[in-house]
Structure 1
């Protein structure tokens, strides 16, 4: 795409495209970038259906452009492309950045119409079972730069979609290490939350954070806990079902069938996740499909909590650390309830304080929001300075 001359010293004006702002890692990254842009005098417009995070976006200095951005209707995707192009022209946008496939097609159209640099971020592994699906997914490699949140994801993008290495930008996802700081959590709030969940002071709480969807592994964790048959354990699942009430009913049926009605609590969406982590004794990431990055292990590490995670995807990469060993958590074979149960049994009653300190230090050094935002904004500026896409 041809890119006109821009003043790379002026504050950046970025248009991000994302289906909704309900909850999730892509949504959080979108808001983090909006906040970083605002902090240096720039602005992020966000083309999205909106959601519970829309007010926070506004507070952070972002501007919501409310549209049905999740649509897969070809006519509406094309219409959105022209609308995004018009928006980009009227607000002198510097970069269009797409974070999901459906709006990415609209963004691609707009980038071609305007000549603006186009960035995409792979926030997940997309099914590529047939040629039609691969074609649909391919929009995510049509950016001037394609952001991968982990080395595992970068390899997947190159190997599956044959995207050249020089167009893939490895920018690890980041978390707010000030917010996810055990020293900042109120002990009374922790006590109240455990009571709300129904866990007794003597019980060890196992926490699985993540959207209530099958591939996040809630059912797998229930099977593992049932195998342990330990009354000292209490399991909590936090996450938004996002309309999957049928799946929630399945989980409740599974809980009753396994005799875990008094040992499991489905909490739904939780705003104060740092307090939820602090209220737990063990954090679990049981995703049956590989995570592109996996915030849960990193958030758990920042909170100094023991983490048990499926050994694949971004989670495997972050927990192994620089030396390639499982230095910061316990890994288990994905999809294997017996292996998960065995991993849970390996967690000591009193984790070593030095391990918690080392894990938090590793997150601060490698996976902070500040680092992610700094590198993303530098990527934006490099594209603006180039004068044309490479």
Structure 2
């Protein structure tokens, strides 16, 4: 990625160590790689301690260095050994700051940072629930460093409600979307056509294509969407595309059964994971995010906005911060099938002119508040402030 001024303002000798459990696909891993690449692009050293995974090649290509360790483990003995490993790494590589992104490795990273007297930042990437004092103590490890980064105002409110932490110690930095990759101008018509062909759509497709991108779980609301769309009674006018892996056979059967009952059987596609998501968003007319439980951020909502696609999202969690109702998309009451039916009807009835204006507003908003550059600038400023405070 392009050089980030906030990272360039750090001392020439600055060395960042991020600690993340694994390097397979996922939001935490994506942010880890984004920050690692930005720090390296600024000419500073970028290290990652992790068990590793499928994204190791991308990490190396970004100019960062992997130090393999079993930091994903929750075993108490392994945690103690990891603290020793990280302490040695910090001393040997002259690490300036540690950034940890998950609870289990946070215990080891916190111990190592305290022994070496380097600042530690922890990012709260999810909503960690606690059903008792022990679990709340376990979750609170993310607040025991020098500063907590919350990936949305919703996450920040959760941290403050759950833990006795100074509000000034919690910074809101939304996860960033690469608006150069997620840019409608950079996606060819051939890529979009390839996606539509893979989904079995017509060319041209007369039906409104409604895309839900997310793992096949009840929390993502696939069944809710199918039932809400079926109540519109206009199945021949729409095509629902559910893109995402996972999911139990029982839940898949529930979705297909609901589609059959509502008459959507021939207008539903379960297409599995999609590699070319920028083209997938452009292949859709409407992107939806009907999660039944609040999400801490809502990456697909931001990605779709970057691609100039208005989004209909559940009115809770991080997505409710990204979408501005009536300006960049629509919000519907979470878990309320009737509310989702009404919201779908409103979205599908929106004129092409109004939809184009909303699309432009959505991309402007994402570039300003939820871009990779905005995230890296805010993160670099946090690093700089902590280093100055230590000095």
Shared topology, TM-score over 0.5?
yes
Paired residue total? 373
Indicate the structure whose relative CO is greater, using CA pairs within 8 Å and at least 6 residues apart. 1
Which residue of structure 1 lines up, in the alignment, with residue 4 of structure 2? none
Task: Output the CA distance in 2 between the equivalents of 1:8 and 1:363.
Answer: 26
3-state DSSP class of the match of 2:131?
Answer: coil
Which residue of structure 2 lines up, in the alignment, with residue 250 of structure 1? 250
Contact 1:21–1:54 (8 Å) recurs in 2: yes
Which residue of structure 2 lines up, in the alignment, with residue 366 of structure 1? 369
Task: Output the CA distance in 1 between the equivalents of 2:124 and 2:257.
Answer: 38
3-state DSSP class of the match of 1:169?
Answer: strand
Task: Output the CA distance in 2 between the equivalents of 1:266 and 1:54.
Answer: 30
Task: Output the CA distance in 1 between the equivalents of 2:223 and 2:53.
Answer: 27
Task: Output the CA distance in 2 between the equivalents of 1:113 and 1:106.
Answer: 11
- Tell me, yes or no, if structure 1 residue 83 matches structure 2 residue 85: yes
Runs of 4+ in structure 1 over 4 Å off: none
Gaps of 5+ in 1: 1-6, 242-246
Which residue of structure 2 lines up, in the alignment, with residue 327 of structure 1? 327
Inter-CA distance 240–382: structure 2 relative to 1 (3 Å threshold): farther
- Tell me, yes or no, if structure 1 residue 304 matches structure 2 residue 270: no
3-state DSSP class of the match of 2:266?
Answer: coil
- Match of residue 101, structure 2, among 99, 103, 106: 99
Contact 1:123–1:149 (8 Å) recurs in 2: yes
Task: Output the CA distance in 2 between the equivalents of 1:288 and 1:256.
Answer: 19
Which residue of structure 2 lines up, in the alignment, with residue 66 of structure 1? 68
**How do 1:331-350 residues align onto structure 2 when only pairs under 5 Å count?**
331-347=331-347, 348=350, 350=352
Deviations along 1:254-293, one digit per CA (max 9) or x if unpaired, are 1332215533323332222111111111111122221222
Which residue of structure 1 lines up, in the alignment, with residue 267 of structure 2? 263
- Tell me, yes or no, if structure 1 residue 231 matches structure 2 residue 231: no
Task: Output the CA distance in 1 between the equivalents of 2:216 and 2:15.
Answer: 35
3-state DSSP class of the match of 1:287?
Answer: coil
Provide TM-score, normalisation by structure 2. 0.90
Deviations along 1:190-214, one digit per CA (max 9) or x if unpaired, are 1121111122322222111223333
**How do 1:103-118 residues align onto structure 2 when only pairs under 5 Å count?**
103-118=105-120
Task: Output the CA distance in 1 between the equivalents of 2:90 and 2:286.
Answer: 46
- Tell me, yes or no, if structure 1 residue 203 matches structure 2 residue 195: no
Gaps of 5+ in 2: 1-8
Contact 2:305–2:363 (8 Å) recurs in 1: yes
Inter-CA distance 21–262: structure 2 relative to 1 (3 Å threshold): farther
Inter-CA distance 24–187: structure 2 relative to 1 (3 Å threshold): same
Contact 2:327–2:361 (8 Å) recurs in 1: no
CA RMSD of aligned residues (A): 2.0
Which residue of structure 1 lines up, in the alignment, with residue 123 of structure 2? 121
Task: Output the CA distance in 2 between the equivalents of 1:92 and 1:213.
Answer: 43
Shift of 1:23: 2.1
Task: Output the CA distance in 1 between the equivalents of 2:149 and 2:27.
Answer: 14
3-state DSSP class of the match of 2:323?
Answer: helix
Which is further off, 255-264 or 278-287?
A: 255-264
- Tell me, yes or no, if structure 1 residue 132 matches structure 2 residue 137: no
